[in-house]
Chains A and B, each alone.
Chain A
Amino acid sequence: DTAVSQTPKYLVTQMGNDKSIKCEQNLGHDTMYWYKQDSKKFLKIMFSYNNKELIINETVPNRFSPKSPDKAHLNLHINSLELGDSAVYFCASTRGAYGYTFGSGTRLTVV
């Protein structure tokens, strides 16, 4: 199936831990994004990468570090997790100016 796929779908972890979320797209898109959705369903962009290059960094704490090993992958590593990091994280991709496609999300719960 052509899609944007994220793993894991659910992630429960303790405060202070380090965790990673992975994203892969097989749509041939050249730009990938991470969005965060809070408890009120508000979606806000965190990062974008274009051809493995960081383009957008929306004032996200440096505990969050995206990594793009190639055009088809964009991972998100989070250090020293805090309670406020609990949210749903969405990966998205696009080619050119149009056609934003979202993954199904990773629900992160920090306890």
Chain B
Amino acid sequence: GESVGLHLPTLSVQEGDNSIINCAYSNSASDYFIWYKQESGKGPQFIIDIRSNMDKRQGQRVTVLLNKTVKHLSLQIAATQPGDSAVYFCAERGRAGANSKLTFGKGITLSVRP
């Protein structure tokens, strides 16, 4: 069956360092991936996405890498700030169309040390 998972439940980084959050997925037919950030008491907030025809996409301080060969997705956050502390989720979409849905991995908590 489909599953999306994260390798580590928590990640602690020093302010100013780079953070890397990893995610494994099992559905090789997935064509679209999203990283979300969820702060306490709030809904998932879109960070960055990537389509399966790409292997890298950059945003402001964030980069998503997609390795379809090993079905691995990662989120890199440059110069991590205290405001980056949150739970991060990767999500995959198995197919496009009106019946598409996002399957989420287990969240990983990012804690930024001052």
Residues of A within 8 A of B (CB): 4, 31, 33, 40-45, 48, 50, 55-56, 90, 92, 97-98, 100-105
Contacts and interface: CB of A to CB of B under 8 A. Distances in A.
Interface string B85-97: 0010101010011
Interface of B: 32, 34, 36, 38, 41-46, 49, 87, 89, 91, 93, 96-104, 106-107
Contacts of A105: 41-43
A101 B46 contact: yes
A42 B106 contact: yes
A98 B43 contact: no
A97 B101 contact: no
B101 A48 contact: yes
A19 B63 CA distance: 42
A41 B43 contact: no
Nearest to A4: B43
B97 A97 contact: yes
7 contacts: A42-B107, A43-B44, A45-B101, A50-B99, A56-B99, A98-B49, A100-B102
Contacts of A45: 101-103
Contacts of B42: 104-105
Nearest to A88: B43
Nearest to B99: A55
